[in-house]
Amino acid sequence: MSDLLARLRGRGWRMTSQRRVVAEVLDGDHVHLTADEVHARAARRLPEISRATVYNTLGELVTLGEVIEVSTDGRAKRYDPNAHRPHQHLVCSNCGTIRDVHPTGDPLTDLPVEERFGFAVSQVEVTYRGLCPSCARPTPAVPGAHSAT
Amino acid sequence: MSDLLARLRGRGWRMTSQRRVVAEVLDGDHVHLTADEVHARAARRLPEISRATVYNTLGELVTLGEVIEVSTDGRAKRYDPNAHRPHQHLVCSNCGTIRDVHPTGDPLTDLPVEERFGFAVSQVEVTYRGLCPSCARPTPAVPGAHSAT
DNA sequence: TCTTGACTTGGACTCTGTCTATCGTAGGAT
DNA sequence: ATCCTACGATAGACAGAGTCCAAGTCAAGA
């Protein structure tokens, strides 16, 4: 992600302060922010940035393959900048915290031909669920209090 | 699913015409309807049924473990009555058609302890994606034209 | 049949996300 | 350094999915 801005410029992306801020907000490991969270963080540095711009920019980053869209609950999509290393997600059933995980093996091989119904299967998403260490403790975190880091 | 109504009554469910119709609409294999689709089909038999009741009833069926909530796209949740046989989902990337599939092996065992971050992992959801036979053909189905059966 | 609390209803409301018309500006041309 | 203009940003209206609430209805036990 560090040289993301350079890659984008190389692809002919017009560099604006808004796009720069959005790209910078989406930096780090285990980052899974919603569009609104991205907007809030971007607005701390660029108060006049609009929601539409955040949505547009996130959509472009997804199209360019620099960011992955994740929807682990039925609610807002989350944006994962860890797009260059294949991974799956581990989600706390209580507080919603998400971690990137790397299972062994290839889940594609687990789907027999007779279970493919003639589909040309090309992709697999795996979501593991369970209680995170904090929520497994006697005083669990309140639901919905996703730390969003 | 056939004796669902009996099971529900046995659990103390108050049986109303609305609940009966919703439960009956959700019957069959490879059924993955959205709440709105359930409402539309229920309304064919019970025109005055309200959206709120459909949402309430679906929520109760999910809580009781009789129906599974599936969100394969970022849009409306779908409701899968095939709750008593563990399975995963195969989704057409073009038209959205969903099939229930049964992979071999247990995906849980593919997540090493050092990749669990202290979580008590208890559940795995796998979504396979690819083109269905119709969409792989020269004249593909239009996107979004999910047949909803 | 009566009673009552659970269920249903319609509509307002929230949350996510998209669209559009208008304004602003990055960056190449001069 | 300045000018141009097409691309990008903005505010706000709009749409889809889902939740909430007060008031009315009715299933089923007494």
Structure tokens at A71: 């929807």
pLDDT for res A139: 59
Is residue B46 predicted with pLDDT exceeding 70? yes
pLDDT for res A86: 94
Alpha helices in chain A (DSSP H): 4-10, 17-25, 35-45, 51-63, 133-136
Report protein residues in contact with nucleic acid strand C, where contact means CB under 7 Å: A 9, 14-17, 34-36, 51-52, 55, 59, 75-77; B 13-14, 16, 18-19, 46, 48-53, 56-57, 74
Task: For residue A33, give the 3-state DSSP assignment.
Answer: strand
Residue with tokens 């909803």: B148
Closest CA to A39 of A76, A3, A90: A76
Of all residues in chain B, what percent carry a pLDDT higher than 90? 74
In tens, the pLDDT along B50-88 reads 999 999 999 999 999 999 999 998 899 999 999 999 999
Minimum mean pLDDT range among A62-66, A114-118, A122-126, A134-138: A134-138
pLDDT for res B140: 47
Is residue A30 predicted with pLDDT exceeding 70? yes
- First-to-last alpha carbon distance for chain A, in angstroms, is 16
> What class is the A88-136 domain?
alpha beta
Strand D nucleotides within 7 Å of a protein CB: 7-12, 16-21, 26-28
Of all residues in chain A, what percent carry a pLDDT higher than 90? 74
pLDDT for res B139: 59
Strand C nucleotides within 7 Å of a protein CB: 6-11, 15-20, 25-27
Minimum mean pLDDT range among A98-107, A108-117, A132-141, B21-30: A132-141
Q: Which residue of B has its CA nearest to A90?
A: B116
Which residues, at least 6 apart from A62, have a Cβ–Cβ distance to it below 8 Å?
Answer: A68, A69, A79
Which residues of A line the annotated binding site?
A: 92, 95, 132, 135
**Cβ distance of A136 and B130 shorter than 8 Å:** no
Q: Give the total residue count for chain B.
A: 149
| H helix count then E strand count, chain B | 5, 6
Nearest-CB residue to A77 (from B74, B111, B126)? B74
pLDDT for res B74: 82
Is residue A39 predicted with pLDDT exceeding 70? yes
Which residues, at least 6 apart from A28, have a Cβ–Cβ distance to it below 8 Å?
Answer: A1, A81, A149
The domain limits of chain A are 4-80, 88-136
What's the mean pLDDT in B100-119?
Answer: 94
**Measured CA A75 to C1' C14 distance, in angstroms:** 13
Report protein residues in contact with nucleic acid strand D, where contact means CB under 7 Å: A 13-14, 16, 18-19, 46, 48-53, 56-57, 74; B 9, 14-17, 34-36, 51-52, 55, 59, 75-77
pLDDT for res A148: 43
What's the mean pLDDT in A53-81?
Answer: 95
* Residue of higher predicted confidence among A103 and A12: A103
Shortest alpha-carbon distance between residue A28 and chain B (Å): 17
Nearest-CB residue to B130 (from A73, A103, A120)? A120
pLDDT for res B29: 86
Is residue B1 predicted with pLDDT exceeding 80? no
Of all residues in chain B, what percent carry a pLDDT higher than 70? 91
Which residues of A line the annotated binding site for Zn(2+)?
A: 92, 95, 132, 135
Is residue A145 predicted with pLDDT exceeding 60? no
**Cβ distance of A116 and B101 shorter than 8 Å:** yes
What's the mean pLDDT in B5-26?
Answer: 92
Is residue A54 predicted with pLDDT exceeding 50? yes
| DSSP annotation string for B18-38 | HHHHHHHHS-STT--EEHHHH
* Residue of higher predicted confidence among B9 and B133: B133
pLDDT for res B137: 79
Is residue B122 predicted with pLDDT exceeding 90? yes
pLDDT for res B14: 94
CA dihedral A56, A58, A59, A63 (to 10 degrees): 140
> What class is the A4-80 domain?
mainly alpha
